[in-house]
Structures are given as structure tokens and as C-alpha cells.
Structure 1
Amino acid sequence: MDLVELLILAAPILLKGTGYTLIFAFAAMFGGLLVGFVLAVARIVPSRWCSAPAALYVSMMRGTPLLVQVFIIYYGLPSIGISFEPLTAGVLALSLNAGAYISESLRGAILGISRGQWSAGYSLGLNYGQNLYYVVIPQAMRLAVPSMSNTLISLIKDTSLVSVITVTELLLATKDVIATTFQPLPLYLAAAFIYWMLSLGLEHIQRRLERHFSRMVAT
């Protein structure tokens, strides 16, 4: 079997795996942003009851391997009566992990906003929550977009880890084709090329978001 025939044979399976990879990545991006925003706000509010648990969570998630977290959620939690389907478990693990990193990007960006901006909001009669939402967050997002985008782009590659819980994303789909064709090198290279293209697409979105938030702050 020549290379062209191999790629034609593998294309439908690889495309299906790519679809699952995108589902995982975008679902985890959305979940990670929600988790990250909540954690970032919890860490900057003037209350140890909020900031301390959030800081502990971030430390634990950043200090343990994502693969271990996937195993805990999918294989460990059923022992206490909590079980998830593979797809749900994978998205949950990726979201909780990404949220910890995104929260640090957001927190650093929020703390990087000058106190003068806070004072200007208070002088307009805004309370803490309104000041955070209308004045600080829009400016902080512009600062946080590059580092958050790097985290989100890495999710595309991290989705390969969910293959260990039998979800047929791109990597596991590639392995399935290799098992029948015995052509590992061209197929792994094809998978790597697809991951690269997906990452380039997200980098393009990142640049557009940076320009969007720059215009938002300018106005």
C-alpha cells in the first residue's frame, strides 16, 4: 500500500477522531474559562474563606499530572459512587485542569490593573462587583488573552491523554488505523500535522481576540 492509498484509507477515521478532539477542546475551553473566572475572582476578593480554598485548588491542579487527574475522575470516583461516561470524564478533567491555569492568567491581569482605574470606578459610584465587571475585567482580558490562549491551545494537544479512557479522539483513532495497516510513521506524522493545523487555527483566533480587546479598551 503506497502513501496516497494509506492516507485515503485513514482519512475518514482520522477526521472522525479530529471531530472528537475539537469537541473535547472547545467544551474544555468553555468549562475552563468558567472555572478560571470563578477561581480568579475568589482569589482576589478580600476574604480568606474564598481565597484560601481557591489557592489550594489551583496548587493541587497545577501540581499534579493531568493524566493522574483523568484517572481519578474516570477510574477513582466510581469507588465512591460517582461515575461518568468517558466523554464527560475527559471534558471534566480537561476543564478543571485548564481552569486552574486560566485563573492565574486572569488573576495576574486583574492585579496588573492600576489602582487608579479602581478609584475611577468608585468615583463614578460603582460598587466592588460593578467596578470589577465594567472597568477592570475588560482591561484585564486584554492583558490575559495571550497567556490564556496558550493554555487553551495546549488543550488541543492535551486531548490526546483522554485516549487512555477509550475515547476515540485523534490519537486513538490513529492507533486504530495503525493496528490494521502496520504503517506507524506516516500515520503518526499525519496526526501530528492535524494537531499542528488545529493549533494554528487557534493562534489565529488568539490574534483576533487580542485586536478586539485592544479596540475595546481604546474606546
Structure 2
Amino acid sequence: MRLDRYLASVTDYSRSDAKKLIKSGDIAVDGRAVTDPSQLIPATADVTLMGVSLRAIGPRYLMLNKPQGYVCAARDRRHSTVLDLMDEDNPERLHVAGRLDIDTTGLVLLTDDGNWSHAITSPQRKCWKTYYVETAEPIAERCIEHFARGVFLKDDKARTLPAELSIIDDCRARLKICEGRYHQVKRMFGAEGNAVTRLHREAIGEISLDSSLAEGEYRALSADEIASVGR
């Protein structure tokens, strides 16, 4: 990789600023000063800026316990985003693998690995998402069959994919879906004449929200959790 491109990838410097920095003589590769931005460097090279080693950021896999009031976006003019909760280098490179609405709480996965993210969000991969749901009215037993068959949502051309509904009591349930249409859970219950009053995501695939995480806290996924996606 070119030295200027490497420097831009592991710091907040733009490509043009990285070139200027290299030409200033403050960058060394394996202990030797380099002033040519186009110099190719091996993956094993030790690149330093004024004596401080710079390392490429490897793929990151994080789980966050999302509170209400945050949007799952890189930036938003009106609301705080989940990235505002992250104490990470280059947080702008992270993206959400399966967004939640601003008023929905629970498990959010963030990564900079596009293939891993696709395995979660693509309906064809059938990665199940589990939600705890509270509703304004009692949940009718017919919803179990309707959701399993798939329901037509307003303005959508096709039924939802089969979903699994387990009724806990009159106004509480768990719902498992394997797609992520716009406001899908709320719209599914709305199609049955009911309104969702609380929505909390408990799991994505085999990854369950860590009960030790308070709202707004996050942690890195374990190797087993990462590997569970796509199995």
C-alpha cells in the first residue's frame, strides 16, 4: 500500500494532509525517515509519526445497549446518534448492522466489516432478530398464525417473511423476524389493529444483549459471537 494511503487509513488526516506530513519528514518506516508519499510499504511495516507507532485498525465488532432518543446513523442534524456513545478511534468508519428506531431500545451491533454486516441484514441469510414487545391492547391469538404466514404492510408489495410470535400475556410478547423493513414490528402489529408501546431488541442471531451492559454502554464481541454470524 502507498504510504500516504496507509497514513490516511489509520489516522484522521485526509490524503492530501497525509502527503504534506510525509514530506515534512515526521514519518518513519521501520525506523527510517521517508518523505515520498508514493512509497509502497509492506503490511508488516512499523510506521511511526514523530516516534509514535501507527497501527491499522482491524475489523471491529461491537454490541451496544441502545437507549431511547438515539438514532442509528452516522450523523443527524436533530438527534444524537449511537456513534456519540462510542469511545472509539475513527468512529465514523463504524456502521450499524440492523438499525433500530429512535424510541426502540436494546441490542445494536456495530462493525466496519461489510461482509459480516451483510450476513446480518440480508433477508436471504435469515438472521433472526428477537424483540420484546408491549402493546396498547391485548394481543389476539390470531396474530400467531398471521405473522407465521406473513402479513401485507401498507405500501409494501409482498407479505412479510414468516415470523414467530410468542405471547407472554395479554399485552406482552416476543417476536422473531428475519428481515428489517421500515418500522416493521410496529407496522405488523398495526396491521392487526394494535399499537406497540414498547419495543426492545434482545438478540440478533445467536448474539444476545449482554445483561451486564447498562443503557448506553458497549463492549467488543467475543470470538464465538463474531463467528456465530453466518453459521
What interval of TM-score do these two structures reach, taking the shorter chain for normalisation? Answer: under 0.3
Return the TM-score normalized by structure 1.
0.22
Greater per-residue strand proportion: 2
Return the TM-score normalized by structure 2.
0.21
- For the pair shown, which has the larger CA radius of gyration, 1 or 2? 2
Larger RCO, structure (CA 8 Å, separation 6 or more): 1
